[in-house]
Structure 1
Amino acid sequence: MFVFNEDVQLEDLGNGLSRKILAYNDNMMAVEVHFETGTVAALHSHPHEQLTYVASGVFEFTVGDVVKTVKAGDSIYKEPNIIHGCVCKEKGILIDNFTPMRKDFVAE
């Protein structure tokens, strides 16, 4: 039920990107994603609904055909299978919430 941030190892994904897998069950998952300035999350899609909260930093997000700059306190909804990605303009942290959970993010 409880996941304490200090107990979760920050996983280095390379190229200025790292993450912590926070609380989850089969239906939903929270992930803390750390970006260095200039880091690119390449355009991609997946079958999960995703809600992103900008905890800190500045990001240029592409969702479908729309490009917007977001900052701390903003949020973005991504429907299933929509193409999306971002460029980190100022070092920051995103909190991604997925439904259902991302099985590909956890070791079997």
Structure 2
Amino acid sequence: MFIFKQDILQQDLGKGVGRRVLAHSGSMMAVEVSFEQGAVGPMHNHVHEQLTYVLSGRFKFTIGDETHEVKAGDTLYKKPFIMHGCICLEKGVLLDTFTPQREDFL
């Protein structure tokens, strides 16, 4: 299966955040999330395991009780049900991988 970015409309999530659901199957999903400077990914949790790869920009991320600044090339792991969220310090893009796929995004 091939997924071409130009064929996927970005969903405007409001407040400077956009999302593109990329390739997915029942067991995994890739999602591109774009942030304007100052945009917030509010604290939340879910049943899914999640890997986040920072494609560009700078973010202040909180996972559980730890907070760190991350930049392009950094990777974050979020285990199921752990509280996590971020603030975008410099306009950027994240690549999230979920397992299983996020049915609520489809």
Q: Deviations over 1:23-50 (max 9, x none)?
A: 0000000000000000011100000000
What is the TM-score normalised by the length of structure 2? 0.99
* RMSD, aligned α-carbons: 0.4
Q: What corresponds to 2:74 in structure 1?
A: 74
Q: How does 1:1-108 map to 2 (within 5 A)?
A: 1-106=1-106
Structure 1 gaps, min length 5: none
Structure 2 unaligned regions, length at least 5: none
**Residue type of the alignment partner of 1:41:** G
In 2, Cα distance between the equivalents of 1:2 and 1:99?
19
Opposite residue 73 of structure 1, the aligned amino acid is G
**Whole-angstrom CA distance in 2 between matches of 1:44 and 1:19:** 16
Q: Which amino acid aligns with 1:59?
A: F
**CA-to-partner distance for each residue in 1:30-75, whole Å, 9 max, x for gaps?**
0000000000111000000000000000000000000000000001
Structure 2 CA distance for aligned equivalents of residues 10 and 101 of structure 1: 18
Using the size of structure 1 for normalisation, the TM-score is 0.97
Report percent identity of matched pairs: 58
Q: Which amino acid aligns with 2:65?
A: D
